[in-house]
Structure 1
Amino acid sequence: MICMNRFMQSLKKRVIAFALVAVVIAAAGGWWYVSYYTRTPEYSIKMVQEAVSQHDKEKLYKYVDVNHMLDTASDAMLDGLVQAMVPATGDTKEAVSSLTKMFKAPVIMSLQSAVDNYVAQGTWIDENVDERSMAAAVDADMIVNRIGLPNISFQKLESMAVDFDNGTAVAKVQVRQTEAGEDYTLDVELVETDSGIWRIYEITNFKEFIENLQRLRQRHVKAYLDESASLMEQHDAVIAAAEQEIAGLLANGSLGSNATRSQVKAVLENKLIPDWQARKAELEAMEVPDAAGSLHRLRLKICDARIEAAASYAKWMDDKKAATIRASDNSLRMARTLEKDAELLTKQVNAHVR
């Protein structure tokens, strides 16, 4: 009995000691979390992610120096876009830099709107805008798409280099740019505040990111122009042969002859129209970069106009109605006008591809 009492007393002491150790460890852990971890750059990165997922604007502004971020991001965007399109040095660079400063204020306003919308709704552009706000929404949409924001997604925090003496840190943040189909590492600078909180201050290589994205887009545009030019050259040869055949039939015959009209109709329906339809189908199957979207849509309209003109002309070979031949002539004039527009637009697009 005495031994049992001693054993129980010893067990109680051990339990109490264990409990005290657990309390001390828990207290130490809580102290470490509050006093240390919450005052690290890693914690600030985590809080920014939470702010976005929880649509918490106040928390975002607590851990991000939004004003400075927008200021430096607008500079990087304008410089990066210009440098990618028109590489400038010396006096030319200074002149271009002065010109881009004129656009800085509206760019900052658009970026500010985009950031606020993204935190509040999870989208860069507010889809519930009235007509008076539509112009601003379009501007913001253009800017965020220009710098590829809708196609960027966070992947991971690669590393964190902290300079405690200077109160700065650089986070290597890997993002995925789906338009480019590539991963890219952004250098995110954080600065320690007087209260001990670390705030995201600047993306120091954002200009290089913009330049790389623009060059990639230029390569995509060049690839589209080269591929579509080859495609249309092949079809132009077929169309030229069909038109030459029709010219030969008309030179050796007469539109007053049913036989000639039947032969011309056969060339239209069996060679010329199918080739324009094939051209349109092949164009529709192409991958089209945004920068070439207007040109591509114009080319599809040309196909439609040419098909309509040829179809009406073939129909006229049978019905001989004035309304039918007028419809053919109208479609042909439309096609030729669109072709002139496409030629000019092709030159403009080519001018921005180095």
Structure 2
Amino acid sequence: MTVEQNQQEELPTTNNNRKKMLALISVLIIVLAGLGWYFLYFIKTPVYSLNIVREAIAKHDVNKFNKHVDVDNILAKGYDDAITAMVDSDKKIDANTKVFVKGLSQMFKAPITAMAKEGILKYVEIGKWQDEATENQEAVVPNKTGMNSDNLVDKTGLKESKFKDIAYTKIDGDIAVVGITLFDEKINKDFIAELKMKKLSDGTWQVIEFANLKEYINTVQAAKNNK
């Protein structure tokens, strides 16, 4: 498949891309919001701070949510990891086209992640997703990636996943990684999602990254393909 052919593929709107990024990160929010009963931990541990995030969502406390979740960094790295995983796993395009697609995707990163952040914070504030922008506010953006953006959420595998338990916590100075066991109902299998966190000045922690999103996507897709 040539670059020119990829450039002529479907043209989803920025609104559609926004939905997919919102859906991608909203799954993580829903997982955090559903942890509930699990947290019987000491104050100022990484896992306890995850409970603070859950409570912030439940109480619509945007300031507390922002304190303990670095939305900007999560979206920025999550976008790159999701695009990389999707492009690398696409067997319909050659190596040169994959390089082109990854570079081109950066053109849309800033507006898509900005809209996603706005939607996430509004969700925390009111507890539901707002209606998407009206059609006269939409701008058509060519999807030159050669991929349907509808696949973004499906390829993560998070859509069918539910929180099961905390698998482990690894702390190295002011950085921690919390492994969360998620159960994928579609393929009846557990997977570990790693949340990277950093210690704040008051001793609590902030989620800064879905550390293994790319590997998680690849693992889930491989399991589904082998099912």
TM-score by length of structure 1 reads 0.42
The 2-side partners of 1:210 and 1:135 are apart by 29
- Matching residue of 2:64: 59
State the match for 2:218 in structure 1.
211
Contact 1:56 1:119 in 2 (8 A): yes
Question: Deviations along 1:293-321, whole A, 9 cap, x unmatched?
Answer: xxxxxxxxxxxxxxxxxxxxxxxxxxxxx
Given that 2:45 and 2:205 are in contact with CA atoms closer than 8 Å, whether structure 1 keeps it comes out as: yes
Matched, 1:95 2:104: no
Partner of 2:160: 151
> What are the residue-to-residue correspondences of 1:314-325 with 2, within 5 Å?
none
Residue 52 of structure 1: how far off its partner (Å): 2.3
TM-score (norm 2): 0.62
Q: CA deviation at 1:200?
A: 0.8
Is 1:185 aligned to 2:192, yes or no? yes
> Which one has the largest radius of gyration?
1
Mapped to 2, the partners of 1:155 and 1:170 lie a distance apart of 17
**Which residue identity lines up with residue 131 of structure 1 in the other structure?**
T
Structure 2 stretches of 5 or more lacking a match?
1-40, 140-148
Higher strand share: 2
Displacement of 1:173 in angstroms is 0.8
Q: Is the 8 A contact 2:157 2:221 kept in 1?
A: no
Match of 2:114 among 109, 118, 140: 109
The equivalent position to 2:46 in structure 1, one of 29, 35, 41, is 41
What are the Cα deviations for residues 178-235 of structure 1, in whole angstroms up to 9, with x where unaligned? 4444322111111112333311111111012223344556x39xx9xxxxxxxxxxxx
Equivalent-residue separation in structure 1 for 2:62 and 2:96 (angstroms): 42
Report the alpha carbon displacement of residue 103 of structure 1 after superposing the two structures with TM. Answer: 2.8
Q: Is the 8 A contact 2:183 2:189 kept in 1?
A: yes
Residue 101 of structure 1 deviates from its aligned partner by 1.7
CA distance in structure 1 between the aligned counterparts of 2:156 and 2:92, rounded to whole angstroms: 18
**Secondary structure, counterpart of 2:112 in structure 1:** helix
Residues 55, 153 of structure 1: alpha-carbon distance in 2 compared, 3 angstrom cutoff: farther
Q: d(CA) in 2 for partners of 1:117 and 1:44? A: 21
SS of equivalent residue, structure 1 residue 38: coil
Q: Count residues in correspondence.
A: 178
Offset, 1:169: 0.8
- Aligned CA distance change for structure 1 residues 39 and 149 (closer, same or farther; 3 Å): same
Structure 1: gaps of 5 or more residues: 1-35, 224-354
Q: How far 1:121 moved relative to its partner?
A: 5.1
CA root-mean-square deviation: 3.6
Higher helix share: 1
Residue 160 of structure 1 aligns to a residue whose secondary structure is strand
Asked if the contact 1:155/1:175 (under 8 Å) is kept, the reply is yes
Deviations 1:149-178 (A, max 9, x none): 5434322211111112xx111101112334
